[in-house]
Structures are given as C-alpha cells and as structure tokens.
Chain A
Amino acid sequence: MKKGLLWVLLALCTLTGCQKAPEPVEATTFAMDTVMDFTLYGDWDRERAKEVRDWMLERLGWLDGKLSATKEGSDVGQINRAGGESVEVGTPTAELLSQSLELCEVTGGALDITAYPAVKAWGFTQEEHRVPAPDELEALAQSIDYSAVRLEGDTVTLPEGMELDLGAVAKGYAGDVLAETVRASDIPSALLDLGQSTIMAVGTKPGGAPWRIGVVDPAQPGSYFAVVELEDMAMGTSGGYQRYFEQDGETYWHILDPDTAAPARSGLASVTVVSPSAFLCDGLSTALFVMGLEEGAQLWRDHPELEFEAIFVTEKGEIYRTAGLEDRFSLAEGYEGREVVVLE
C-alpha cells in the first residue's frame, strides 16, 4: 500500500517535470549596426546546436565585413572608392547585389541601393544630423540611379561619384543565409531576430505551434498593436519612428525617397512585410513605405509571384492588411476595437 502511494507520487513528479520546454541555445551579437538574437531548439543534440550557433556568428561577422558601407576593406567600400573602375567582389556580395537590383526594378526604383550619398548628407551614418539645402537635395537625387550599376558575374562597376548602401537589404539577406544553415543542420525550430525590424522563423516552435511576433505600434513604439503568426516565414518592418531627428519642429526620418533624396512622405507610418524570404521582407518594407498605401497595395496585386503579404499603418493610425494574412493576423490586447481594412 505504501509502496503504491510512492509510485503514484513518483509518477506525479515525473509528469510535472514534463512541463518544462526544451532548453534553447541562444546568442546575442552586435552586427550590421544592430543587435541580433538567435534562439535555436535542437534539444536532440545541444552540443550540435551550439556548434551551429558558433558557425552562424562567424558567418554573420564575415558577411558584415563584406556588405558594410562603412567597414574598412568591405566589398561595398571598395566599390564605392573605386572611382569608376571595376571591382571583383565575393560571390555572396554579387548574389545580394543581383537580387537587390532586381528588387529595385520591380519596385520602380522606390528601393534604390545607390542612395548612400544622400544618407550621408542627412547625417544618418554618423548620427550628426543636418537638413541639406533644396539645391543640394536636387543634385543628390539626380545621382541616385540603381540602373547605372553594372554587375557581370562577380565584377561590379559603379560610375564615379555614386555610392552603394546595402543597409536596406543586408540584414534580410543574412537572415536567409543563416536560416539555410539552420535547416541544413537539421535543427527543426529556430527564431532569428536580425535586429528588431527583421525576423526569420525556421519551422514552428518546439511542440508545433507557430511563432507569435508582435508588430510595433508606430504611434507608441513601446507597444505592439498586432500579432502575426509565422511558420517557416520571415517578417520585416520599416517605420519612420525607428530612426529620426527633429529640427525646427519638423521630424526627419531615415527612410529616404530616391526621387527627392529627402525623407519619404507617403502618408505611411510603418509597413510590415511577411514572406518566406527575409531579404524580400527587408527590402520590400522599405520600398512600400516609400511608395505609400495605394501604390504599395497595387504592387502586391501585380506581383503574386513575390509571395508576400503586408500590413500598412498610416500616419493617421489606420490599419490595412492584405487578404493573405487571414488566420495569421490578430489585433493585440488593447487594440481589439481598431478597424482593420483588408486589401483584396
């Protein structure tokens, strides 16, 4: 009898112990001008997951060293300083450039990777902000033109006076590369946070539930207004609130319109893109922010082959989402009453 009780108690202990989720392998690192967080669930072999994590960090550091516009000796830095001469770059740089130039074209130049001189003129690289004069902006806008970039194999040629900046796409590209590593290592579930604005979800959470990601309220960046469920899917947000400065009562944010070389004023406060490719989420969220709601929604209708969905928040606080997010999108606590317009 007493023994029986012992067994029951033992069984209970074991059961309660089962509630514990598998221990993830985690990493936090500063790269690509942001802080990144990786969480890997490979509970079948924790040591293996740690190896994968270390390899990812190394790979990330390497990519950062190639793709950064400011780092000494980077591929992008060499292209920018070549004075019109051809430069041979690493294959990943060439691959990202090729993908980026395609996206620049699809978005009609709303994304333009040659806006670096304008970014510098506004002081967003050194955080020493200034407002360039109208004639300076006009000259800057004239020199922004992605179609002038020549890419043949691994050789890049950029006209003198122009400069590349892959800041709008590098994090996303890194997300895709790292996710590939995770999948190839048979790690079934991982969450790669590539610096708040870009997230890559590999598989589901351990146990099979989708990852739940909050979308920041641009009017109150300390809160989130919606939750998106992701499964083998990436998500990226661009918003004027992320980096900006104020001068003489005006707010100037870091997302520039390639047409004017000035902060993009399209009536949007933030754009979130959901797609299997983190690169696309990263680049497209910037482009759609520049294009505005109408044009952005049209791009979504015209390009089903890009396989993306989007959430738009206007400066007035209106929320729009595309139809494909049905069942994956919900309003967060405290925002339940808000109207969400579904774009078809």
Chain B
Amino acid sequence: MRTKLIAGLLLAAVAGSVVFILLRGRAPAPVARISRDGVLLEEIDLSQVDEPYSLTLEDDSGRNVLSVERGRVCVSEADCPDQVCVKQGWVSNGAVPIVCLPHKLVVELVGTGEDLDGGAG
C-alpha cells in the first residue's frame, strides 16, 4: 500500500516534470520585469494581455508611463530630461532592456524564447 502511494507520488512528479519541460520548449511567454534601483516593482506576463493598457510608475525621482500590449511594452511618457527611455520605443525581445537612468528604472523582457544572453547598442 505504502509502496503504491510512493509510486503514485513519484509518477505524478515525473509527469509534472515532463509537462514542465514540454511547456518550456513551447511558444515563448515574454514577461516584462520592471525594477527601480535593483528592486523588483512589477512582473507582467505579456502573453496574458488582452486589452492594451498603461501603467504609471512614480516616485520622488519622477514619473514614467508604460504602455503594455500583448507581447510588447514601451515607455510612452516620462518626465526625465533625456527621454532616452521614451525614444527607445516598443520592446518585444530581450536583447536590450529599456533603461530610464535619471529614474533608475529598468524594464527588461525575459522568456522571449530567443536564446540571447545579452545585447549591445
């Protein structure tokens, strides 16, 4: 009886692992990871976005408005002086994150299914 139970549990574990590995190899599910000064603020699963929406991130350093759509994200508005984050436009792959230096805000995409380790530019 006990052996059966253990066998059952192990079987479930194996099945779970197999499903996990299969899922991992399937269509990419990009996640936007938003952090300020190294602290994670928000994670958005971009494959689950049905309606485009915007998200305002504000603190003492300033304000950034993020536009979120299925599979992609951009900073549509910011009150930083250089506007580098806004000029970068839509990001849908994980090569280079959106960085707003004056506000220490970083938006990086992970799990885009592209096997890149980093980006230059």
Contact = CB atoms under 8 A, between A and B. Distances in A.
Contact of B93 (A2, A19, A193, A223): A223
B7 interface: yes
Question: Taking chain A's interface residues, is the majority helix, strand, or loop, or is none over half, making it mixed?
Answer: strand
A215 B38 contact: no
B62 interface: no
B74 interface: yes
A255 to B, nearest CB: 13
Nearest to B14: A12
Contact of B119 (A34, A126, A205, A224): A224
Interface stretch (A157-165, A231-239, A286-294): A231-239
A272 B96 CA distance: 15
Interface in A190-238: 191, 193, 196-199, 205, 211-218, 220-224, 227-228, 235-237
A111 B29 CA distance: 43
B78 interface: no
A214 B95 CA distance: 6
Interface string B4-23: 10110011011001100100
B118 interface: yes
Interface string B83-109: 010011111110111010110101000
A303 interface: no
B74 A213 contact: no
Contact of A9 (B11, B37, B121): B11
Nearest to A254: B82
Contact of B121 (A29, A218, A244): A218
A222 B89 contact: yes
A24 to B, nearest CB: 11
Interface in B1-49: 3-4, 6-7, 10-11, 13-14, 17-18, 21, 35, 37-38
12 contacts: A2-B4, A9-B7, A10-B10, A30-B37, A128-B81, A212-B115, A214-B96, A214-B118, A221-B96, A222-B92, A223-B93, A243-B82
